[in-house]
Structure 1
Amino acid sequence: MNHFQIMKEVCNDIELSFNEEKYNKFMKYKDILKLWNNKMNLTAIVEDEDIVKKHFIDCIEIFKFSPIKAALNIIDVGTGAGFPGIPIKILDERKRITLLDSLNKRINFLNQVVLKLKLDEINCIHGRAEDFSKKLEYREKFDMAVSRAVANLAVLSEFCIPYVKTDGYFIAMKGPAVENEIKDGRNAINILGGKVEDIIKVENYGFNHNLVVIKKIRETPKIYPRKSGVIIKKPLK
């Protein structure tokens, strides 16, 4: 089965439209990723098949949480090489995507991807998550926050939940062993105005992970997020 067929099959399983135009954008994205990865560290995954399966399909699977299809304003916090924000945009061009990352070199890469793929209504921002969520134009303004960043759930929630509107969602893309993180992070999530609503298990091509679905049920207290060093050293409990 070739890459187009693999990706189309995954999209079909979650009732998501996929065609040659979208596939070609993914392939162009892959080529730009590999080119830039030669001069800066964007990903340790460098083989074509691995990029398709471990990055692209992994990101496509976020649509297994069906309310994402209705979310129009999404922020990807700690986006890195653009995962999952750029795949979400390729798959649904109606969405307004904000990509936030603390490293300017990655933002330069993302701007090139946006330019080369001719993606509209996608904003690449250089900044720290805990700073931008204090700004009125970003705080509680998004239908959904998503993150594939490597941080425990309590920490990640403090970075992400302040961006989400009440009744919106934060989706944390996590590995197969997430139960302890959820157990340790539940109270932090509650303090921040969220509630763990679902854990969606995803199994594809030998890779297992989870979508941790957190619903924003009330406003985040204004004292959060704290400073980055404090968030990491003293996670909410």
Structure 2
Amino acid sequence: MGFSEALEQAAVNYGISLTNDQINAYNSYFNLLIEWNEKINLTAITEPQDVAVKHIIDSLSCYSEEVFKPGAHIIDVGTGAGFPGLPLKIWQPNLKLTLLDSLNKRVNFLQTVVDILKIDNVKVIHNRAEEGANKREYREQYDVAVSRAVARLNVLCELCMPFVKVGGYFVALKGAQYQSEVSEAQRALEVLGGEIFKIQPVKLPGLDDVRAVVYIKKTKKTPKVYPRRPGTPEKKPL
């Protein structure tokens, strides 16, 4: 089964509808991902069925109408190969997207995808989260920050919440340990100005693993001392 067919079936099984234009865009994205993955390490997941479910549908699983409002400014922190930001943008073109990653090779890949697919209102930034969040043009400028990074939630909160406006949201896509991570992150939430808004369990088509999306609402400004210097959030989590 080719990628387009696998994605179309996965979308139906997950209960979402994709247009032909969206499927074509995702297919072009997939082809670029596989091509560039031979030159730089973007993903260990390369089989069409796996990319369709574990990258595209998984990325779309975090979409919530009450959080991702039309025209919202979104930043994908530590986006890697563009997940979940680019799949969300292709599915909801009205979103204004910023992709942030610390590795220049990945940034070049992302810019190539954006240029070839002619996706409007996407900015690609080469920066570490700890540095970007302390720049005036990015700090507390976004309606939503999303991240599918592998760091634990208390670390991700420090890296992502400084980008979010008061009243906005940080959305984290998490795996089987999400409940313990939420408990572990309570102090970080208090310090950084957030509170749990909702937790949405996720069941991906054909997979039995445990996943959830954690939605955190920004209720007050993040103190200026956060995020701390690069590497510190991981070494000394809140």
Residue 76 (structure 2) aligns with:
76
Residue 98 (structure 1) aligns with:
98
Residues in 1 aligned to 2:12 and 2:87: alpha-carbon distance in whole angstroms: 16
How many corresponding residue pairs? 233
Residues in 2 aligned to 1:7 and 1:95: alpha-carbon distance in whole angstroms: 23
Q: What is the DSSP-based 3-state SS (H/G/I as helix, E as strand, rest coil) of the residue aligned with 1:140?
A: coil
Asked if 2 retains the 8 angstrom alpha-carbon contact of 1:65 and 1:200, the reply is: no
Residues in 1 aligned to 2:71 and 2:190: alpha-carbon distance in whole angstroms: 22
Please state how far the C-alpha of 1:229 moved relative to its aligned partner: 2.1
What is the percentage of aligned positions where both structures have the same residue? 46
Q: 5+ residue gaps in structure 1?
A: none
Runs of 4+ in structure 1 off by over 6 angstroms are: none
Residues in 2 aligned to 1:50 and 1:177: alpha-carbon distance in whole angstroms: 22
Amino acid at match of 1:168: G
Please state how far the C-alpha of 1:4 moved relative to its aligned partner: 4.7
Q: Is structure 2 residue 33 aligned with structure 1 residue 33? A: yes
Q: What is the DSSP-based 3-state SS (H/G/I as helix, E as strand, rest coil) of the residue aligned with 2:46?
A: coil
Residues in 1 aligned to 2:71 and 2:173: alpha-carbon distance in whole angstroms: 17
Give TM-score scaled by structure 2 length.
Answer: 0.93
Asked if 2 retains the 8 angstrom alpha-carbon contact of 1:71 and 1:143, the reply is: no
Counterparts in 2 of 1:100-119, with a 5 A limit?
Answer: 100-119=100-119
Please state how far the C-alpha of 1:72 moved relative to its aligned partner: 1.2
Asked if 1 retains the 8 angstrom alpha-carbon contact of 2:82 and 2:99, the reply is: yes
Counterparts in 2 of 1:46-57, with a 5 A limit?
Answer: 46-57=46-57
Please state how far the C-alpha of 1:165 moved relative to its aligned partner: 0.5
Counterparts in 2 of 1:113-192, with a 5 A limit?
Answer: 113-192=113-192
Q: What is the DSSP-based 3-state SS (H/G/I as helix, E as strand, rest coil) of the residue aligned with 2:61?
A: helix
Residue 9 (structure 1) aligns with:
12
Residues in 2 aligned to 1:148 and 1:65: alpha-carbon distance in whole angstroms: 19
Please state how far the C-alpha of 1:171 moved relative to its aligned partner: 0.3
Residues in 2 aligned to 1:10 and 1:110: alpha-carbon distance in whole angstroms: 28
Q: 5+ residue gaps in structure 2?
A: none
Give TM-score scaled by structure 1 length.
Answer: 0.94
